[in-house]
Structure 1
Amino acid sequence: MRTAERGVRSRARSLVVFLGVSVLAGALAAGLAIPFAGFAGFATQKAAVSMQNLPQDLETAPLAVRSKMLAADGTWIATLYEQNRVPVPLDQISPIMRRAIVAIEDSRFYEHGALDAQGTLRALIRNRSEGSVQQGGSSITQQYVKMSLIEKADTAEQRKAATAVTYERKLTELRYAVAIEKQFSKDQILEKYLNLANFGDGAFGVQTAAQHYFGVSAAKLTLPQAAMLAGLVKNPTGYDPTNNLKRAKDRRDLVIARMRELNLITAKQAADARKAPVIDFKKIRKVPNGCANSRYPFYCEYAVAKLLDNPALGSTPKEREHYLKTGGLTIRTSLDPRIQAAAQASIKEHAKVSDTAIAAITVVEPGSGLVKGMVQSKPYGKGRNHTYYNLNVEKSYPGGYGGFQNGSTMKAFTIAAAIQQGLPLTYRINSPAQIDLSGRRFKTCSGSTRDPNYRPRNSTRSGNLTMIEAAKASTNTYFLQLSQRTGLCSIATIAANLGMYNAQTQEPLDQVVSMTLGVGYVTPLMLSNAYATFAARGKYCRPTVVTSVQDKSGKPVQTPGIGCRQVLTPAVADGVNRVLSAVMEPGGTGGRLNFGNWDLAGKTGTIQDNLAVWYAGYTPNLAAAAVVADATLPYTNLMYGHTLDGQDISDPTGSGTAGPLWQTAMEKALQGMPLRRFVPPNSKITGGDGKSLPPVSGMSPGEATDTLSRAGYQVVLSGDRVNSPEAEGTVAYTDPRTGDRPPPGSQVTLFLSNGQN
């Protein structure tokens, strides 16, 4: 009897609660503030205060929409998201899907306001009898409010409050739900709900869920498919068919039964739907997330790093990353899949994943700075023979390796400095096999520098060489003397203007005596882009991987884009192109790398002790740099214990080791491109614009010095005596030679005869 009395009292209290909630709903709808303290024994003073302080409108967070990164031709590179979602308007959601979700979640959705009084009474009676909140009774509008508050929560405390099993939270939802119902139509609310809802297994929103589970759009969903998806919303994990197929089927069939009960479908439709398979696991479509799942992970990560530098995406890196993964952005990049494939084919042909040496190639378009390809021999990932390091880019970016010493590829900047100062391509310097530069001063931007014990040697041709001849042979002693005459500051300035700096420290390249033979650490991206400046006749363009960004509405988001400036005169660049094209002529260090009918120019680079070897080269169409190196610390000589393409590296050179990688990549990449030519240098660049050097052979050093000084030249006396028919102690010859036309102010070296013919 007592039990029965308690049941009657409990039902009575529930009825009072229901009436109270009904009154509350009416009051809220009318925008009234009413006291709640003591109401029906469940609304606390805290709830009363919070309800009265709530704003009229719910501020919802923008829907988290996945972003996509595309190649230059529009093909897919990567999808980036926090929640895998693609919103669609209600008219692109099948009617059966709309009926299914309404049937199972709020069958009277189109009949009631923010509160479903019948559903609330049912839930309250159940909850009062159990002594706790066991049943929701929430309308679709209230559920949308709850999901929105969870989506909007930034902290654990906010998320806890949005999901708290309390009447206070339900009243809060109700207040917001009333505002939502005033602001939007029922169809608009349903559209928002279906696009926001979690459908399990990483699928958010009905469009993504339809594509994920069934490989169809939301507009094409069938009855059994719609019923399955509708059943997921209540418990996306528990009813996920990939977790528990039986539970998913039971829930789907419950939705079908409810639709039949409401006469939304016929008995035959219900029976047929229950017989349909819940899911075909072969049709499940996982959307790969992030760069790690991209076809081009290293390139993708570098593009993301550039995006995270863009303040247009947010005021902090954290905000930019969030917007990048939730803003529904369309990111267009410079990557050309055909050129990328060409470079990758070269890696495959000339290197193996198991090699102890690494190989890397970057390809850039002259005149735009667009990075068309970026490849390396070590694949992305963890474990043996894999790496997360991008071997093509600077250390300042996440995953950037930070480059390698660049060797004689630096000579290109010395050539540019010499031409810029008026030295012609015919400029001769006596370049012996070994030269003593110990203590010799080299001018820098801040003064001068010297090496107390420096006696460099040539590994190739020596003699009295022109700039072109010295470049063909990569004669060290020529370029060291040339760099002394130009000064290191001019070389460093030109290199910096072409985007060269230390890729490890981001500091300017060191101005040291041996600068022209290689200095600091540079990357394939950096070097290929610098050489692209020569190809573009002196127009430098910063390397660009992100060409445009659009938000989810299609509006452009500000991006740095292509940025170019003229850093060398076209005439100077033309001269550099002529010198470096000679490198690829027969007899040049790059002569074996010539192909087709293209105008080609390039330069080898070999690091002291063979720690790395380079080949950088270009046509007017494309520029590329290839490196083979030891990428472990401490670096070791490539000749000892290292392999490339599965073979021991016995004689590492820029042309023989890195050169074939460059050649294969460029030859394949240039296929189908228009044939373009370098502009020949003018006669001033080629032969100089000065007067012919006065003849001084046979003169005494003093007489020769006076003669040349009056002609406007700086005179230096060589310490070496040379074989000559001239009398001992008199001038044997000069450097430059008589008949050359060095510009006024140039340095002329006197070589005295030893009297031996």
Structure 2
Amino acid sequence: MRVRDKGDRGVVQSVVLFLGVSVLSGALAAGLAIPFAGLAGFGTEKTAETLQDLPQDLKTIPPSRRTTILTSDGKLIATLYEQNRQPVTLAQINPIMLKAIVAIEDDRFFQHGALDAKGTLRALIRNQNSGGVQQGGSSITQQFVKLTLVEKANASSDEEAIKDATADTYERKIAELRYAIAIEKQFSKNEILEKYLNLANFGDGTYGVEAAAMHYFRVHASKLTLPQAAMLAGLVKNPTGYDPTNNPKRAKERRDTVLRRMQELNVVTAAQAAAAIKTPVLNGPVLKILNGCANSAYPFYCEYVVSKLLENPGFGKTSKDREHYIKTAGLTVVTSLDSRIQAAAQKSISEHTKSDDQPIAAITMVEPGTGLVKAMVQSRAYTAGKDDKHKTAYNYNVEKTYEGGYGGFQNGSTMKAFTIAAAIQAGFPINYRIPSPSPIPLSGVKFKTCTGTTSDPDYNPRNSTKSPPEPTMIEAAQKSTNTYFLQLSQRVGLCPIAKLAESLGMHNAQTGEPLEQVISMTLGVGLISPLQLANAYATFAARGKYCTPQLITSVKNYKGRSLNTPGPSCKQVLTPEVADGVNAVLHEVLESGGTGSHLKFGRSDLAGKTGTIQDTKAVWFSGYSNKLAAAAVVADADLPYTKLMGQRFDGRTMNDASGSGTAGPLWETAMQGALKGMATTKFTPPTDKTRRGDVVDLPYVNGMNPDEAANKLRGMGFEAEIAPGQVDSEEVQGTVAYLSPRSEDGAPEGSKVTIYVSNGSKIQQPPNPPNSPGIPLPPNPPNTGKPGGGGKPGGGGCPVWNPNCGGR
């Protein structure tokens, strides 16, 4: 087979051009596929005019290629394409394939120019004799032109252009001829053949010889055998009709026709052709390259990744343009998903849920300090169609920023972590005590917001667990003491809590708006996604370094060149000292006495927080080590939302639902599997200043008139408040029993200090002396908590203003 040089074809091309103008009216081109009689009235003048109006060359575009999405460790997540194609060079195609396609489609391809006049006339005569289209006369170059025009029309998404590119008209035939002449000038025969084999439709959803070879025979195009090459060569004439997966008999007949033609042309011997004819058309099951996220092992994660790709303006001006680019550009997208960690999270879902559960369960896992989303799983299976009872198109782990995002759940007491962080940031010590009765009257109590104050006219919240009467911040976190954190949030202010939460990526997952500043904010507010919560808690693990969640780590084009994509976006939003304080508080939740103590495992330091929303419609556990953070939720996701108790979950009816007992095991199993094999890590201990807080001394006012004590505190810059009612105390009734925070603990400058008034119930009366019944003695001074004094005015630590000292 001799390859003609570009320069050798000038004469032929001139002849072809002449034929195109003067003979086309005699049906040279139209005879390719249209009966001769149809040319009546289509004259030379119109033909020449059409040719002159056409551009002198045809601008080709790279053939569309399939895009692959991979895990961080190189495993396939999904393949995206409009046409399943993987272009290759001519050197990557077995020569027998080249011979087969030329033999059956254009055996004089290397001898003629753009138009094979001899072949066209032969086809015309046969078509006219038969009264129909029995043989095509288009050269491989003309076929390539047609494929290119269709490809360009598809790329433009122009419906009119697509229609014109496939219209069965004389104008299209003439246009293809003119373009074919230009193509023959622009490319060598080998280049045209390579481009043609990469564009051609080979049936059953495959385009290009490489994708076809892998699909039908599970081999690369370079390894094709004679019968395999013959079958593929036969397909291009009628990809649907000769598809061996639908019609193996017709496919074999067509393949054998190709083999016999190759024998006629002495491309193969009679023995080779006979042996190939005896082979089955397929030698095993075809290899399906499944298209789209719906066919992925990780469909929800995949769709979320695609939504992020569609946000990249570098991929096109409109969403439609970007979608077309992503599916045709042959990109390699590497994601943050770790298949080992994903498997650990999926194992947790499999162990703790059932496919027919009424509530849903979801887990997201994030790497602290990078924002890399390592795993994302949920209990309901994926369906691309309408939700049914046990399948869904919703991704329960993410915000509603794209069509598949569910948009979160109210997050319950996991919100207390942000109150803790804001309190530590404001200088409150981690041993800060607040009397925390249950219930507590907060009706009408004002809480400061960023724009003023807010209150609730009827609010008397209570604790859901048994707590110390006056817990520290650590004890309150361990027991999730609602009344403690409500009071703490009032003292810190809702604005600092809201701003801190916002800096950690917390916003309404439905609307994208900031979290609402209401007095119950610390007990859960708005709608939060597991991804948001896991990533926010990862900030504590990273010692205050917040990173935007990252799902895509690199995108490369088919040439291996990296494309601009949003990379890591991290910033320090909390000082390491504040984060260390939060870690110290939340670490105790998983230690003895904490609500999450039964979830502790391994030797690494762990921290976390439970969350249960009102009426237990959703329960959470979110926690972390230095290596990984995860949020797990179990929730009712079907309208009308009802409490979890009474619903079937994990194969049984729930009598109780809680963050620690329902969501906690999901978190524990996922984290335990994910951290397996990782190095043991410990949190950085908080500094003494963080433990003690940035506090100033409080005056000792026990036994003082409450109003005078309040004025004294206000004079020092504190916000003083006298608590309603009276408390048990050894101080005289009506005087100051104690402060909150305690005098010995101090308080942040300018913070709120509550004055509690004594009812005098614990004043001790000494027993009557022996042998002197009924004769009272002067009362002994109570223990003031200060050294020395003994009740004498000015003595030791007893202030002269204390009435029990007798000095007032």
Q: TM-score, normalised by structure 1?
A: 0.94
2:540 to 521, 534, 537: 534
Whether 1:339 aligns to 2:341 is yes
Whether 1:231 aligns to 2:234 is yes
Q: Secondary structure at the match of 1:249?
A: helix
Partner of 2:123: 123
Does structure 2 retain, via aligned residues, the 8 Å contact 1:38–1:45? no
1:253 to 233, 251, 256: 256
Partner of 1:18: none
- Deviation string 1:302-342 (CA, Å, 9 cap, x unpaired) is 11111111111111111111111111000000000110111
Partner of 2:797: none
The Cα shift of 1:487 comes to 1.0
Partner of 1:572: 578
Does structure 1 retain, via aligned residues, the 8 Å contact 2:12–2:113? no
Cα distance in 2 for partners of 1:36, 1:354 equals: 68
Correspondence list, 1:432-581, <5 A: 432-460=437-465, 461-581=467-587
Compare 464-473 and 133-142 and name the one that shifted more: 133-142
- Deviation string 1:553-588 (CA, Å, 9 cap, x unpaired) is 111111112111111111111111111111111111
Does structure 2 retain, via aligned residues, the 8 Å contact 1:433–1:462? no
The Cα shift of 1:746 comes to 1.9
Whether 1:671 aligns to 2:676 is yes
1:653 to 658, 664, 675: 658
Structure 2 counterpart of 1:294, one-letter code:
S
Compare 168-177 and 356-365 and name the one that shifted more: 168-177
The Cα shift of 1:60 comes to 2.4
Q: Secondary structure at the match of 2:695?
A: coil
Does structure 2 retain, via aligned residues, the 8 Å contact 1:716–1:748? yes
Q: Secondary structure at the match of 1:722?
A: coil
The Cα shift of 1:690 comes to 3.0
Cα distance in 2 for partners of 1:745, 1:359 equals: 44
Cα distance in 1 for partners of 2:168, 2:116 equals: 19
- Deviation string 1:344-367 (CA, Å, 9 cap, x unpaired) is 111111111111111111000000
* Residues 191/95 of structure 1: CA separation in 2 closer, same or farther (3 Å cut): same
The Cα shift of 1:50 comes to 2.4
Partner of 1:419: 424
- Deviation string 1:468-514 (CA, Å, 9 cap, x unpaired) is 11111111111111111111111111111111111111111111111
Whether 1:696 aligns to 2:707 is no
Partner of 1:43: 43
Partner of 2:358: 356
Compare 598-607 and 57-66 and name the one that shifted more: 57-66
Cα distance in 2 for partners of 1:215, 1:505 equals: 48
The Cα shift of 1:684 comes to 1.1
Does structure 2 retain, via aligned residues, the 8 Å contact 1:133–1:165? no
Partner of 1:13: none
Figure out how many residues of one structure are paired with residues of the other and give that number.
Answer: 734
Compare 677-686 and 85-94 and name the one that shifted more: 677-686
Cα distance in 2 for partners of 1:649, 1:618 equals: 27
Compare 521-530 and 154-163 and name the one that shifted more: 154-163
- Deviation string 1:149-193 (CA, Å, 9 cap, x unpaired) is 122224443333323333332221111111111111111100000
Whether 1:26 aligns to 2:29 is no
The Cα shift of 1:738 comes to 1.9
Structure 2 counterpart of 1:411, one-letter code:
K
Does structure 2 retain, via aligned residues, the 8 Å contact 1:33–1:52? no
The Cα shift of 1:36 comes to 8.4
Whether 1:681 aligns to 2:686 is yes
Does structure 2 retain, via aligned residues, the 8 Å contact 1:37–1:48? no
1:290 to 289, 292, 312: 292
* Residues 34/261 of structure 1: CA separation in 2 closer, same or farther (3 Å cut): closer
Counting aligned pairs with the same residue, the percent is 64
Partner of 2:398: 393
Structure 1 counterpart of 2:298, one-letter code:
Y
Q: Secondary structure at the match of 1:195?
A: helix
The Cα shift of 1:51 comes to 1.5
- Deviation string 1:507-538 (CA, Å, 9 cap, x unpaired) is 11111111100011111111000000111111
Structure 1 counterpart of 2:172, one-letter code:
R
Structure 1 counterpart of 2:437, one-letter code:
P
* Residues 34/488 of structure 1: CA separation in 2 closer, same or farther (3 Å cut): farther
The Cα shift of 1:31 comes to 13
Partner of 1:72: 72
Cα distance in 1 for partners of 2:686, 2:18 equals: 84
The Cα shift of 1:37 comes to 8.4
Structure 2 counterpart of 1:290, one-letter code:
G
Q: Runs of 5+ in structure 1 lacking a partner?
A: 1-21
Cα distance in 1 for partners of 2:304, 2:44 equals: 54
- Deviation string 1:383-412 (CA, Å, 9 cap, x unpaired) is 441111111111222211111110000001
Compare 44-53 and 295-304 and name the one that shifted more: 44-53
Whether 1:737 aligns to 2:739 is no
Partner of 2:32: none
Does structure 1 retain, via aligned residues, the 8 Å contact 2:16–2:113? no
2:373 to 371, 374, 380: 371
Structure 2 counterpart of 1:450, one-letter code:
S
Partner of 1:4: none
* Residues 159/706 of structure 1: CA separation in 2 closer, same or farther (3 Å cut): closer
Does structure 1 retain, via aligned residues, the 8 Å contact 2:486–2:522? yes
Cα distance in 2 for partners of 1:35, 1:346 equals: 75
Correspondence list, 1:1-150, <5 A: 26=14, 29=17, 42-43=42-43, 45-129=45-129, 135-150=135-150
Structure 2 counterpart of 1:205, one-letter code:
G
Does structure 2 retain, via aligned residues, the 8 Å contact 1:27–1:34? no
Partner of 2:609: 603
Does structure 1 retain, via aligned residues, the 8 Å contact 2:424–2:693? no
Correspondence list, 1:137-176, <5 A: 137-153=137-153, 154-176=157-179
Whether 1:410 aligns to 2:419 is no
* Residues 493/519 of structure 1: CA separation in 2 closer, same or farther (3 Å cut): same
Cα distance in 2 for partners of 1:536, 1:200 equals: 53
The Cα shift of 1:24 comes to 11
Cα distance in 1 for partners of 2:67, 2:14 equals: 43
Does structure 2 retain, via aligned residues, the 8 Å contact 1:462–1:475? no
The Cα shift of 1:741 comes to 2.5
Structure 1 counterpart of 2:631, one-letter code:
A
The Cα shift of 1:704 comes to 1.6
Cα distance in 1 for partners of 2:128, 2:550 equals: 64
Cα distance in 1 for partners of 2:685, 2:129 equals: 95
RMSD of equivalent CA atoms:
2.0
Does structure 1 retain, via aligned residues, the 8 Å contact 2:13–2:113? no
- Deviation string 1:406-447 (CA, Å, 9 cap, x unpaired) is 000000111111111111112111111111111111111111
Cα distance in 1 for partners of 2:583, 2:24 equals: 85
Cα distance in 2 for partners of 1:166, 1:491 equals: 70
Structure 2 counterpart of 1:481, one-letter code:
Q
Q: Secondary structure at the match of 1:69?
A: strand
Structure 2 counterpart of 1:708, one-letter code:
L
Does structure 1 retain, via aligned residues, the 8 Å contact 2:16–2:115? no
Q: TM-score, normalised by structure 2?
A: 0.88
Does structure 1 retain, via aligned residues, the 8 Å contact 2:427–2:695? no
Structure 2 counterpart of 1:80, one-letter code:
L
Cα distance in 2 for partners of 1:162, 1:505 equals: 45
Correspondence list, 1:211-230, <5 A: 211-230=214-233
Structure 1 counterpart of 2:311, one-letter code:
D
Cα distance in 1 for partners of 2:241, 2:469 equals: 82
Does structure 1 retain, via aligned residues, the 8 Å contact 2:21–2:47? no
Does structure 2 retain, via aligned residues, the 8 Å contact 1:25–1:174? no
Cα distance in 2 for partners of 1:320, 1:613 equals: 38
Cα distance in 2 for partners of 1:611, 1:192 equals: 59
Partner of 1:11: none
* Residues 634/291 of structure 1: CA separation in 2 closer, same or farther (3 Å cut): same
Does structure 2 retain, via aligned residues, the 8 Å contact 1:106–1:139? yes
